[in-house]
Structure 1
Amino acid sequence: MVYGEAYACPCIRSHPLDPYFVAQSHGNYIAIFSSNPPFKLDKYKRYESHGVSGFPIKCNFSLDGEKLVSGSSEGSIYFYNSISTELVQKIKAYEQACIDVVFHPTVPNVLASCSWSGDVSVFG
């Protein structure tokens, strides 16, 4: 067992460069794990501040691995420094939950997101 808490994790993402992965938790945080066996949970750092509230909220790393973005149950996009886990920016994007957010695969400052109601937005 890698994760012994009572929360489901609707999204797991691997860091593009460093040996760790993150798991979006229904406990309203993103947990950090080593990607080398035995896949240990980092008990001292995690990404917090965004709400999940049972929605299948996704998160993603930027191409360079410096940022982690997450949707939220209140319709905002949260930008974290991936190293420090510090919340850097929050953007209100929707009236309903923002369920997915992803960086453009080749243009680093472009971001796409979608809401629970089916709205899609592109930021750049």
Structure 2
Amino acid sequence: MFLTRRVFALAAFAAPLAGAIPAHAATFQPYTPAAFAAATKAGGPVFVHVYAPWCLQCRAQEGILERLMAEPRYANATFFRVSYDQQKDVVAKLDVPRSTLIAYKGGRETGRMSWGVTQDAVQKVLDTAA
């Protein structure tokens, strides 16, 4: 009986929290040319983040992006991560430094930002395609 009360109390506490967790939060996908082509062809917002784990600006952008990706308006967006260290060919093709965020809508680039580390700077790029 004591265990049943404990389970009931835990369920009563956890139920309101379940609604706070987005059901379909966007996540980063590894960038491949085929996946990028498919996502842009689908027509929804597509975002490419050029990232290096040792880059402080990249990590700051990552934290901001992860918070924003949890918002319902980005549930249908596709977020790609390009490894600055391991995908030099993609970095060269995009012609970007590390810590760059690029937005696409309908296969067309709509916004780009490098080095920005504020939520406003990141949000501004996301808004160009959302």
Between structures 1 and 2, the one with greater helix share = 2
The TM-score, its normalising length taken from structure 1, stands at: 0.29
Q: Which of 1 and 2 has greater Rg?
A: 2
> If the length of structure 2 is used for normalisation, what is the TM-score?
0.29
When you count strand as a share of all residues, which structure comes out higher? 1
